[in-house]
């Protein structure tokens, strides 16, 4: 066990690519991942796990087939397992994701935006 706090801003400075979540911590079977993104992601779902987005900087939208949810800095949203969605941000957004370890960022879809699963920073 590390006895030092994890500085999220420091970790974010080390991320240079968009749409590539990086694991910064693990609690039981859950990963805490930082991600930077801008533009639109692919439609996908996670059939076996919920997914949490916590906006650290900027604004984002979570698109569902029948509505959108807007999130600003300091807000979080839980996407239930099995619900098809995609994320987007007009300007660069920074978020903390909380999801089961081993969760692929594109869920059931493989695309050019699919990132490595357990990439630590």
pLDDT in 10s for each residue of the chain, 121 residues: 668 999 999 999 999 999 999 999 999 999 999 999 999 999 999 999 999 999 999 999 999 999 999 999 999 999 999 999 999 999 999 999 999 998 878 777 777 788 878 889 9
In a domain, residue 48? The reply is yes
Query: How many angstroms separate the CA atoms of 81 and 40, rounded?
Result: 20
Task: Report how far apart, in Å, the C-alpha atoms of 101 and of each of 22, 73, 84, 107, 120 are.
Answer: 12, 25, 20, 13, 12
In a domain, residue 106? The reply is no
Q: Which residues contact 83 (CB under 8 A, 6 or more apart)?
A: 45, 64
What pTM was computed for the model? 0.92
CATH number at residue 78: 2.60.120.10
| Residue 45: domain span | 19-100
The tally of domains found in the chain comes to: 1
Under 8 Å between Cβ of 24 and 65: no
**Nearest alpha carbon to residue 105 among 53, 67, 66:** 53
pLDDT digit string, tens, across residues 56-76: 999 999 999 999 999 999 999
In a domain, residue 73? The reply is yes
In a domain, residue 57? The reply is yes
């Amino acid at each position: 066990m590390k006895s030092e706090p994890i500085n999220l801003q420091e970790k974010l400075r080390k991320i240079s690519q968009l749409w590539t979540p990086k694991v910064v911590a693990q609690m039981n079977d859950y990963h805490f991942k930082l991600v930077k993104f801008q533009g639109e992601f692919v439609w996908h779902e996670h059939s076996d796990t919920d997914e949490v987005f916590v906006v650290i900087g900027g604004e984002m939208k979570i698109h569902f087939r029948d509505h959108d949810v807007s999130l600003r800095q300091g807000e979080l949203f839980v996407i239930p397992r099995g619900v098809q969605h995609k994320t987007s941000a007009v300007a660069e957004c920074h978020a903390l994701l909380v999801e089961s370890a081993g969760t692929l960022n594109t869920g059931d879809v493989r695309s050019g935006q699919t990132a490595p699963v357990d990439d630590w920073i």
